[in-house]
């Protein structure tokens, strides 16, 4: 009912958003009233429970959708005050992310995994991810909101660097692996949306690093799609002064370079050479090929409009790019569909196709 929805939104604003808005980018002080400190931490704990890394994927998707719907309604209701509402939220999100990942090196490393800091980190990325996906009937623009907030956006790529480092660290407590993975995914999705705001020097470094990571198949399948989207966004930022045609060419070359790495790894696997021979790497290669082939597709491309011309635009020069893998790469992937693989190495023979690959 309408009254129930209105009441739920009131609670969402009161419990989740208001404490963040009140902080507005300023640290909670020691002399702050205990009740306000409690309200502030409850806000992050609620958001952290709605994040990618908190539960199974099915329930999380529903909660993420509810969060976006609630944000959309709150922003719509704000009308002409949308930027005034989003400004303190973005400033506080940036401050909390910098603090909870120790990007300013102000806390002891192991403190990153204290419950309170973890909740702030997870909750902040959850809310920022939802906010970047939030388009409203009243023309809310995350791009305008970021500009109005005047935040230093270099924290986006610095956060990814820190999260990736944490995920590879043997010192990370095992019970935080899922949380860090979910936060990493949210970070990459945000970079994909806001890459145009990252300083060019940071974009160049991060794009090269991310390309190396993807080409080495170091990302798990659940991060590959977001990683590729982030790489494209950063690459577009690096080419910001170029023409759309030049930008498309840069992305096309990038895609085919990673395709070539995929082809090399699969060739080695099917030739029965042991390099990159484990199933998890092959699985990552296949996911990478699939996500690369989706670059340039837009949400309005489906079976109902096959005859519709999809053209690039100044706002999206990559739209319609659609770089396909080589015939040989497609053949290599198809080779792994049967229960056993016919090896094309000098000794011939067959070997079982790992179930996870099929």
Bridge partner residues of 100 (DSSP): none
Which parts of the chain have pLDDT scores under 70?
1, 28-33, 52-61, 107-110, 136-138, 241, 272-277, 299-315, 343-349, 358
Question: So what's the pLDDT on residue 314?
Answer: 56
Query: Do residues 344 and 271 make contact, with C-beta atoms less than 8 angstroms apart?
Result: yes
Half-sphere exposure of 273 (CA within 13 A, CB side): 10
Question: So what's the pLDDT on residue 216?
Answer: 94
Question: So what's the pLDDT on residue 204?
Answer: 94
Q: What are phi and psi of 351, to 5 degrees?
A: -150, 155
Question: So what's the pLDDT on residue 300?
Answer: 61
Q: Where exactly are the structural domains of the chain? A: 1-198, 211-299+314-358
Question: So what's the pLDDT on residue 276?
Answer: 44
Indicate the average pLDDT of the chain: 85
Q: How far, in Å, CA of 122 to CA of 130, rounded?
A: 12
Question: So what's the pLDDT on residue 139?
Answer: 79
CB atoms within 10 A of CB 224: 25
């Amino acid at each position: 009912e309408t009254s129930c929805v209105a009441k739920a939104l009131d609670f969402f604003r009161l419990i989740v958003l208001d404490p963040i808005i009140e902080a507005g980018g300023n640290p909670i002080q020691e002399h702050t009233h205990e009740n306000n400190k409690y309200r502030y931490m409850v806000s992050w704990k609620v958001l952290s429970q709605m994040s990618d890394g908190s539960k199974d994927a099915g329930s999380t998707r529903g909660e993420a959708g509810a969060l976006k719907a609630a944000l959309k309604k709150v922003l719509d209701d704000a009308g002409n005050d949308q930027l005034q509402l989003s400004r303190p939220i973005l400033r506080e999100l940036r401050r909390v992310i910098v603090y909870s990942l120790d990007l300013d090196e102000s806390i002891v490393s192991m403190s990153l995994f204290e419950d309170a800091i973890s909740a702030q980190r997870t909750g902040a990325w959850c809310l920022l991810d939802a906010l970047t996906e939030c388009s409203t009937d009243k023309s809310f623009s995350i791009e305008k909101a970021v500009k109005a907030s005047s935040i230093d956006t270099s924290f986006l790529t610095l956060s990814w660097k820190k999260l990736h480092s944490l995920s590879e660290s043997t010192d990370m407590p095992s019970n935080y692996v899922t949380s860090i993975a979910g936060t990493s995914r949210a970070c990459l999705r945000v970079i994909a949306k806001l890459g145009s705001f990252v300083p060019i020097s940071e974009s160049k470094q991060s794009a090269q690093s991310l390309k190396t990571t993807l080409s080495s198949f170091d990302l798990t399948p659940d991060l590959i799609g977001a990683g590729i989207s982030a790489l494209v966004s950063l690459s577009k930022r690096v080419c910001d002064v170029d023409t759309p045609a030049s930008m498309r060419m840069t992305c096309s070359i990038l895609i085919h370079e990673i395709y070539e790495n995929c082809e090399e790894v699969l060739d080695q696997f099917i030739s029965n050479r042991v390099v990159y021979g484990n199933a998890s790497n092959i699985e990552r290669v296949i996911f990478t090929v699939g996500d690369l082939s989706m670059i340039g597709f837009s949400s309005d491309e489906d079976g109902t409009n096959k005859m519709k011309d999809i053209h690039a635009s100044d706002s999206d020069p990559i739209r319609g790019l659609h770089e396909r893998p080589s015939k040989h790469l497609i053949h290599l992937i198809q080779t792994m569909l049967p229960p056993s693989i016919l090896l094309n190495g000098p000794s011939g023979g067959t070997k079982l196709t790992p179930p996870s690959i099929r």
